[in-house]
């Protein structure tokens, strides 16, 4: 089943799932289609999982207001599922680490990637000064608007780079492949409600279980689309020349209560 899904996804996504830039061993990047991994045991696809990316965050939680030269993007977080990734991003944001950095890699109908001080996909570090490991969870997926950690081939290489999924739709072939995989005995895989949500909102399901989703855009996807659609790139890998990059001017961390209505 894993081989079947990998073959279908590779064929369906070949046009936009591209190789990384720079030194392959050092570049923090989003994946190649041949890296797809999926559960190997088909099961009951009716086993629903939670979809917290589309729920109102806890009143006491924090959100990030990402001001860019293209507009404002607002993101909520999921520390209960990806505590280290959330702590890393919010601490960097509060310390001004991301101010002045850019979205250095952009692929329309896929994602926008930023958070690298070098601007070439090889830089950046975590708040701990070293890479940290994946925090994957069956309840968090690479739906359109997902905020996820970029990394190199080493799963423990997560640092400061992140990407926002921009893909507006998932092809019928990929959706059918997900249905065929279903879920395995531990509940991992693609239950019906996940497949239907991908069909509804779009995204990039081949990244699931491979990259750490830790946030979700709740306002400003029009800005993400603008960056993805209007940024001039240098090659098929989405490299953006410095003069054409969208700049992150600041990131402010605020209480969710300032952005969501919690009235009874």
Average pLDDT over residues 106-122: 97
Look at residue 38 and tell me whether its pLDDT is greater than 50.
no
- Degrees, nearest 5: CA angle 206-210-211: 105
Look at residue 18 and tell me whether its pLDDT is greater than 50.
no
Tokens of residue 263, six digits: 């009235």
Cross-strand pairs, 107: 111
Cross-strand pairs, 76: 63, 216
Which range among 45-54, 65-74, 224-233 shows the weakest confidence by mean pLDDT? 45-54
Quickly tell me which residue has 């402010």 as its tokens: 252
Q: How far apart are CA 70 and CA 99, in angstroms?
A: 14
Q: How far apart are CA 246 and CA 21, in angstroms?
A: 18
Q: How far apart are CA 179 and CA 98, in angstroms?
A: 39
Look at residue 264 and tell me whether its pLDDT is greater than 60.
yes
More reliable by pLDDT, 60 or 7: 60
Average pLDDT over residues 49-68: 96
Please choose, from the candidates 7, 1, 2, 9, the residue with its C-alpha nearest in 3D space to the C-alpha of residue 205. Answer: 9
Torsion angle defined by CA atoms of residues 119, 121, 123 and 129, in that order, rounded to the nearest 10 degrees: 130
Residue 37's pLDDT band (cuts 50, 70, 90): very low
Please check whether residue 112 is in contact with residue 162, taking contact to mean a CB–CB distance below 8 angstroms. Answer: no
Please choose, from the candidates 141, 154, 138, the residue with its C-alpha nearest in 3D space to the C-alpha of residue 23. Answer: 154
Look at residue 41 and tell me whether its pLDDT is greater than 50.
no
> Which residues touch 264 (CB under 8 Å, ≥6 apart)?
none
pLDDT digits (tens, 9 = 90+) for 124-144: 999 999 999 999 999 999 999
Average pLDDT over residues 69-93: 98
> Which residues touch 220 (CB under 8 Å, ≥6 apart)?
66, 71, 72, 73, 74
> Chain-wide mean pLDDT for the chain?
87
Please check whether residue 212 is in contact with residue 134, taking contact to mean a CB–CB distance below 8 angstroms. Answer: yes
Please choose, from the candidates 40, 207, 219, the residue with its C-alpha nearest in 3D space to the C-alpha of residue 140. Answer: 207
- Predicted local distance difference test score (pLDDT) of residue 81: 97
- Predicted local distance difference test score (pLDDT) of residue 102: 98
- Predicted local distance difference test score (pLDDT) of residue 46: 65
pLDDT digits (tens, 9 = 90+) for 164-201: 999 999 999 999 999 999 998 777 899 999 999 999 99
Look at residue 157 and tell me whether its pLDDT is greater than 80.
yes
CA 14 to chain centre: 19
Torsion angle defined by CA atoms of residues 76, 245, 118 and 154, in that order, rounded to the nearest 10 degrees: 50
- Predicted local distance difference test score (pLDDT) of residue 9: 57
Average pLDDT over residues 110-128: 97
Look at residue 235 and tell me whether its pLDDT is greater than 70.
yes
End-to-end CA distance of the chain: 47
Q: How far apart are CA 40 and CA 204, in angstroms?
A: 19
Q: How far apart are CA 94 and CA 7, in angstroms?
A: 42
């Amino acid at each position: 089943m894993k081989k079947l899904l990998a073959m279908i996804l590779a064929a369906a996504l070949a046009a936009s799932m591209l190789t990384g830039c720079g030194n392959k061993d050092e570049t923090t990047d989003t994946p190649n289609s041949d890296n797809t991994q999926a559960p190997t045991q088909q099961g009951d696809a009716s086993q629903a999982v939670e979809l917290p990316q589309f729920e109102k965050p806890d009143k006491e939680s924090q959100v990030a207001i990402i001001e860019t030269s293209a507009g404002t993007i607002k993101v909520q977080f999921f520390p209960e599922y990806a505590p280290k990734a959330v702590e890393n991003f919010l601490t960097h944001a509060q310390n001004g680490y991301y101010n002045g950095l850019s979205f250095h890699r952009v692929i329309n109908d896929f994602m926008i990637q930023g958070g690298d001080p070098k601007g070439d996909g090889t830089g950046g570090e975590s708040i701990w000064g070293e890479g940290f490991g994946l925090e994957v969870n069956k309840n968090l997926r690479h739906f359109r608007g997902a905020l996820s950690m970029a990394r190199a081939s080493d799963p423990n290489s997560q640092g400061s780079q992140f990407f926002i999924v921009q893909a507006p739709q998932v092809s019928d072939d990929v959706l059918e492949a997900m249905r065929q995989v279903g879920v395995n005995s531990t509940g991992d895989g693609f239950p019906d409600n996940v497949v239907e949500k991908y069909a509804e909102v779009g995204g990039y399901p081949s990244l699931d279980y491979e990259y750490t989703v830790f946030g979700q855009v709740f306002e400003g996807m029009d800005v993400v689309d603008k960056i993805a659609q209007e940024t001039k790139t240098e090659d098929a890998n989405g490299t953006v020349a410095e003069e054409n990059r969208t700049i992150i001017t600041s990131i402010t961390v605020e209480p969710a209560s300032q952005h969501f209505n919690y009235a009874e």
